């Protein structure tokens, strides 16, 4: 099994993001929100939104992205064919890496269930 985070696993264009924002299922926590929308591909894709307003330092934003990408990379084979956008909130910086990953796992799981309706 391949655990790369290759180009086709990323949301690349503004259109990709707009598509998800338009009609998304969301799973949120006080620290970040994950939006998900079914795509027409055979694999999940990940997009990140880490506003400077929420996480002030580049170091903080990069750390956030690194942890989310790593979690997605390890989970990609158990995720459904959906586009996911992870949006950072201020308090994300206060999480330990371990708590961050636990929370991500919980939200990935929640968004992987078949949608009701």
CB 84 within 8 A of CB 34: yes
CB 33 within 8 A of CB 27: yes
Q: How many helices (H) and strands (E) does the chain have?
A: 3, 4
Task: Output the pLDDT for position 1.
Answer: 78
Task: Output the pLDDT for position 115.
Answer: 59
- Mean pLDDT to the nearest integer, 68-77: 93
Task: Output the pLDDT for position 113.
Answer: 80
CB 85 within 8 A of CB 48: yes
Query: Is residue 48 within a helix (H) or strand (E), and if so which, with residue range?
Result: strand 45-49
């Amino acid at each position: 099994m391949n655990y790369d985070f290759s180009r086709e696993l990323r949301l690349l264009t503004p259109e990709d993001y707009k598509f998800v924002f338009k009609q998304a299922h969301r799973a949120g926590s006080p620290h970040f929100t994950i939006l998900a929308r079914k795509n027409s591909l055979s694999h999940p894709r990940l997009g990140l939104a880490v506003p400077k307003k929420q996480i002030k330092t580049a170091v903080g934003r990069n750390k956030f992205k690194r942890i989310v990408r790593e979690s997605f990379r390890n989970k990609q084979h158990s995720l459904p064919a959906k586009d996911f956008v992870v949006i950072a909130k201020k308090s994300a910086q206060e999480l330990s890496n371990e708590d961050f990953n636990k929370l991500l796992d919980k939200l990935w799981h929640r968004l992987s269930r078949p949608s009701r309706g």
